[in-house]
A = this chain, B = another copy of it.
Amino acid sequence: MLTKTPRDSFVEMTQMVLPSDTNALGTIFGGKIMSWVDIAGAIAAQRHARRNVVTVSMDQLHFRNPVKLGYTVRIRAQVAFVARTSMEVVVEIHAENPLSGEVTHTASASLTFVALDDHGRPTTVPGLIPETEEEKAAHEKAVSRRNRRLFEARKQAEK
């Protein structure tokens, strides 16, 4: 099975914040952004695995700036790390004021997806070779997030 680079899975999604995406205050729902993030992440994971994928987990997500009605939201996702059957995808979310052009950082997210075979069972995915400095840094961060998750899961289990 061949290996791939993070760039091979890169996806860019752009959305306009419509009235149906906003709450009574005219700002977007956190949950709406999460649902775009989940889809962008799944597309990146599918591009890496060329398999159907399911979301297994989403790491902590912190909204830094409000996103308003009419703003443009840009979501960039890319696989940062792979284990045997799972992939961690890093997602960056920015929002653009359409009138001023000002772009602000909305949130960063990291999600884990598992690849499924035709019977819905986890299946192996291609290896990942980070190439650029940025990709290597993202890979290292993903490894340490994974280690912390495994460590905490073990602590939970020992209780």
The SS class assigned to the A binding surface is: mixed
Pair A24/B70 contact, Cβ less than 8 Å: yes
Q: Does A39 interact with chain B (Cβ within 8 Å)?
A: yes
Bound together, the chains give a CA A20 to CA B51 distance in angstroms of 21
Cβ contacts A44-84/B at 8 Å (1 or 0 each): 00110011101111111111001001101000000000000
- Point out the residue from B25, B27, B35, B63 that lies within 8 Å of A56, measured CB to CB: B63
Q: Does A40 contact B (CB under 8 A)?
A: yes
Instruction: List 24 contacting pairs A-B, 8 Å CB cutoff, sorted by A.
Output: A12-B12, A13-B15, A16-B42, A19-B20, A23-B42, A25-B52, A25-B54, A29-B38, A31-B34, A31-B35, A34-B38, A35-B35, A43-B72, A46-B72, A47-B101, A50-B99, A50-B101, A52-B70, A52-B99, A56-B63, A57-B61, A57-B63, A58-B61, A60-B149
